[in-house]
Structure 1
Amino acid sequence: MGARKENILVLDRKGVIHSRRDDLNQYKAALANDTDKRTLNDAVEDADVFIGVSGPDMLTPEMVKKMAPKPIIFALANPDPEIRPEVAKAARPDAIVATGRSDFPNQVNNVLCFPYMFRGALDVRSTSITEEMKIAAVHAIAELVREAPPQEVLDAYGGEPLTFGADYIIPKPNDPRLLGRVSSAVARAAVDCGVARKGYPSHYPLNSLDEIFPEL
């Protein structure tokens, strides 16, 4: 989706996965970069984005301070993130922070994608899940958050307004619009890239649970 490999540093328990390491399996070797950076502390310097899928408290406030302006921090370890949102914000008030937890803003959870991706794939009898289908799901989710959420979502979160911004960059997992938007986008992408064995359903796009599961 436009990211350049040379700008992405991946780390394992031993540090940065770089091209001069001799302990890499084929999967890690494919991610290796030619870089002099060796530690997480090195890697985060001037970085725009941190994506953590490791363990608690791996990212320190000092590291966050070294990141580029308006850093994006996805601290996704559960139940304890790599850095707590309030700690990251104290270090960098301009940071955009997401976690995997429902009690913090911006919950990143695969429930936003997987059920609806498979619904779209099944409706057109797709033979595979392609990169085009994944990207279609990403765009559908990204577009949805820029629209006003339904009242039932606001009620579920205490009635507070939800407006696209630093604390609302991704739809809430209980947003019923995800069902129709993501599955429809995935089905269309499957048809367009030639892996669908059925045409785009005439009843798409789906907008409610009643439309998706009429038998209920």
Structure 2
Amino acid sequence: LGNIGPEAGLPVMEGKAILFKEFANVDAFPICLDTQDTEEIIRTVKLIAPGFGGINLEDISAPRCVEIETRLKAELDIPVFHDDQHGTAIVVVAALINSFKLVNKSFETAKFIVSGAGAAGSSIIKLLIKMGAKNIVVNDIDGIINKDDLNSYNFLKREIGEITNPENIKGGLAEAVKGSDVFIGVSAANILSIDMVKTMNSDAIVFAMANPSPEIMPEDAIAGGAKIIGTGRSDYPNQVNNVLAFPGIFRGALDAKAKKITEEMKIAAAVGIAKLVSNEELAYDYVIPDAFDSRVSTVVANEVKRIAIEQNITRN
């Protein structure tokens, strides 16, 4: 929706609070701040934090969202989680775990193209690397992020540039997509063409998640030869929806009295979500549980709680 201000954004927060309660029985309070200043946001959250068991950051644009979350995680002793970043990443990884079973590929061997270097894109990239990905190329509005241009990037793009594009290719989306196995779109509508999909490797996976209009419509991705399609929309199969992650993440963290949410928790959550689709059910149009699958939040919560105890980051 763009930058619509705190009053107009409040219904989004209210909706999120309802989802927390409905899916995981977490009492959440919608709070909108009338500021876009990084330091003011950090100070305000720290001031109100004593009354809360955790903080879910929402709808803060990149790169500020990364700095805000990093600082708050370091300066608070309760879980801080930016859902636009990590919720998306967890659900994408869950869908990929199952997709790779169908097309006989792996995180280690697949070539990934991520379109969009903002909040969601940066977190997806980091979680893919945690899962073993070796070859990720990132494209944003200015083209492929490459090592020759690192000095011209903001801190977030510089960080992405240092850990991606091992072959240091340059150009735009067409060059990035060629010879890739997985397209992950968290960017803009209608930027991936049928002809571009045709240049991907066989049994290609396309998760076009720009909402409400994806980077490519599913029927066009199929026409280009893609085998597995996912979107952020509810009217197509394989909806990559954050609601599969964030309610259970907080339920588990609160139940464990965890002080923070770690990368290992996110991976365990993704694996747990993926396992809910049995081998018998697994199909090209069903690689991830339905957004309203009531089993999901409990499984995610149990996995998060287990890891919190294993990592000894719980309160006595």
2:218 to 72, 82, 85: 85
Distance 1:37 1:96 in 2: 27
Alignment-derived partner of residue 194 in structure 2: 61
Report the number of matched residues: 181
Q: Give the alignment partner of residue 143 of structure 2, picking from 12, 15, 18.
A: 15
Q: Which runs of structure 2 are paired with 1:19-168 in the superposition (5 Å)?
A: 19-21=147-149, 22-32=151-161, 33=165, 35-92=168-225, 94-146=226-278, 163-168=281-286
Instruction: Please state how far the C-alpha of 1:30 moved relative to its aligned partner.
Output: 1.4
Tell me how far apart the structure 2 counterparts of residues 168 and 36 of structure 1 sit (CA, whole Å): 33
Aligned partners of 1:164, 1:81: CA distance in 2, in Å?
Answer: 24
Alpha-carbon offset, residue 27 of structure 1: 1.4
Deviations 1:51-93 (A, max 9, x none): 101111110000000001111111000000000111111121x
Cα deviation for residue 23 of structure 1 reads 1.7
What letter matches 2:258 in structure 1? S
Residue deviations 1:64-123, cap 9 Å, x none?
00001111111000000000111111121x521000000000000110000000000000
**What letter is aligned with 2:312?**
G
1:30 aligned partner, one-letter code: E
Give 5+ residue unaligned stretches, structure 1. Answer: 149-162, 199-216
Q: What is the distance in 1 between the residues matched to 2:201 and 2:315?
A: 46
**Conserved in 1, the CA contact under 8 Å of 2:144 and 2:176?**
yes
SS of residue paired to 2:184:
strand
TM-score (norm 1): 0.81
Q: State the distance in 1 between where 2:210 and 2:291 align.
A: 17
State how far apart, in whole Å, the 1-side matches of 2:216 and 2:285 are: 16
Instruction: Note the C-alpha offset of 1:37.
Output: 2.6
Contact 2:205 2:227 in 1 (8 A): yes
Percent identity over paired residues? 48
The residue aligned with 1:203 is none
Letter in 1 for 2:132: G
Checking the alignment, whether the CA contact within 8 Å between 2:248 and 2:301 is kept in structure 1 is: yes
What's the offset of the Cα at 1:145? 1.3
C-alpha displacement at 1:147, in angstroms?
A: 6.5
User: What is residue 193 of structure 1 aligned with on the other side?
Assistant: 311
- State the one-letter code of the partner of 2:133: A
Corresponding residue SS for 1:132: helix
Q: Which has the larger radius of gyration?
A: 1
Aligned to 2:132: 2
Instruction: Note the C-alpha offset of 1:133.
Output: 0.4
Stretch deviating more after TM superposition (25-34 or 169-178): 25-34
Which one of the candidate residues 162, 165, 175 is aligned to 2:293? Answer: 175
Ranked by relative contact order (alpha carbons within 8 Å, sequence separation 6 or more), the top structure is 2
SS in 1 for 2:296: helix
Structure 1: distance between partners of 2:224 and 2:204 = 11
Contact 2:145 2:170 in 1 (8 A): no
Give the distance between the partners of 2:227 and 2:196, measured in 1 at CA: 12
Structure 1 counterpart of 2:157, one-letter code: K
User: Which runs of 4 or more aligned residues in structure 1 lie more than 3 Å from their structure 2 counterparts after TM superposition?
Assistant: none
Contact 2:228 2:284 survives alignment (8 Å): yes
CA distance in 2, matches of 1:91, 1:13: 23
Say which SS state the counterpart of residue 9 (structure 1) adopts: strand
